[in-house]
Amino acid sequence: MILEPLAKTAKSIAEKRFTLEFPEERDSMSDREKYMFRLDMPTCINCAACERICPNKTIDMVDALTDKGEKKFPQIGIERCLFCGLCEEVCPTKCLTLTKGYELEAYDKRDYVKRPEELQG
């Protein structure tokens, strides 16, 4: 009775692992998979259309310093984002876009709130 579980344990130790290590080289993503935001602050007209259309209310307009003074820009809470792309579609100047990328791991949940300065790139 005790030999059977021990035999299964010994067999599972000898087998190959099921989990994969985090790859150094990322797999290529299709054009439809977009998980990272990019904001072009100079072309943003601060219309707040992205904030109004967001179904999860994950976009807030916050003050950010620019060359021309302080203006309101979108701040995105990625932890609640559906990545639906509605904010990208409604943007009249196309300054807020979703790009390829999936670096969404963080140790602190505050790292998932992306300020306008962090979204530039």
Kindly list the structural domains of the chain, giving each domain's residue range(s) and its CATH number in brackets, ordered by start: 30-119 (3.30.70.3270)
Q: Sorting pLDDT into bands at 50, 70 and 90, what band is 11?
A: confident
Per-residue model confidence as pLDDT tens digits over 52-84: 999 999 999 999 988 888 899 999 998 888 889
Burial class (CB in 10 A: 0-12, 13-18, 19+), 119: buried
Strands 113-114 and 59-66, bridge-based pairing:
unpaired
Give the mean model confidence (pLDDT) for residues 83-93.
93
> Using an 8 Å Cβ cutoff, are 114 and 98 in contact?
no
